[in-house]
């Protein structure tokens, strides 16, 4: 399950992506418009800044802004930053692989086979979607309404 922290990070990033190249946005504006508690948002934005996704400017006209274009910020990377491995089981994880202690043979493990298929499908979706894709989906959904 996606943690609240990861979801709030994505929401804040989408807000910043919509304002890309228009200048920094205040934390209070993001917090209010996206309904994210301000103190929680401050910690999230700091993590995103430390990860090289955002930067900030102090003083008048200050706030946070994207360092990368919206199409370069991939969902799987943001989720991993806050939630760690995307795999349901460590034996199918690409970045955090661990052999299951109780497993006799990974090659013939039916559970691993199913989880591996789920993992591949999830990665396919998360690796191929960026902040820009979320913005475009939102626009498409608004048009359908």
The CA distances from residue 43 to 8, 30, 50, 122, 137, in Å, are 11, 13, 11, 27, 27
Q: Residue range 4-18: average pLDDT? A: 97
Q: Residue range 5-12: average pLDDT? A: 98
Flag whether pLDDT at 145 surpasses 80: no
Helix or strand or coil: residue 42? helix
Note the pLDDT tens digit of each residue in 14-68.
999 999 999 999 999 999 999 999 999 999 999 999 999 999 999 888 899 999 9
Note the pLDDT tens digit of each residue in 56-100.
999 888 899 999 999 999 999 999 999 998 988 989 988 888 888
Looking at the domain covering 4-66, what would its CATH class be?
mainly alpha
In this structure, what token pair is assigned to residue 124? 């396919």
So what's the pLDDT on residue 1? 84
CB-based burial, 93-120: b 16+ in 10 Å, e otherwise = eeeeeeeeeeeeeeeebeebeebbeebe
So what's the pLDDT on residue 141? 92
Flag whether pLDDT at 7 surpasses 80: yes
Q: What is the pTM of this model?
A: 0.89
CB-based burial, 31-41: b 16+ in 10 Å, e otherwise = beeeebeeeeb
């Amino acid at each position: 399950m996606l943690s609240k922290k990861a979801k709030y990070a994505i929401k804040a990033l989408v807000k910043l992506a919509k304002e890309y190249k228009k200048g920094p946005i205040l934390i209070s504006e993001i917090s209010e418009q996206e309904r994210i508690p301000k103190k929680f948002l401050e910690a999230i934005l700091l993590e995103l800044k430390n990860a090289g996704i955002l930067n900030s400017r102090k003083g008048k006209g200050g706030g946070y802004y994207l360092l990368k274009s919206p199409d370069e910020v991939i969902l799987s990377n943001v989720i991993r930053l806050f939630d760690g491995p995307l795999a349901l089981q460590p034996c199918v994880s690409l970045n955090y692989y661990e052999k299951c202690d109780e497993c006799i043979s990974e090659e013939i493990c039916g559970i691993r086979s199913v989880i591996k298929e789920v993992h591949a499908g999830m990665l396919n979706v998360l690796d191929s979607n960026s902040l820009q894709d979320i913005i475009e989906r939102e626009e498409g959904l608004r048009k359908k309404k």
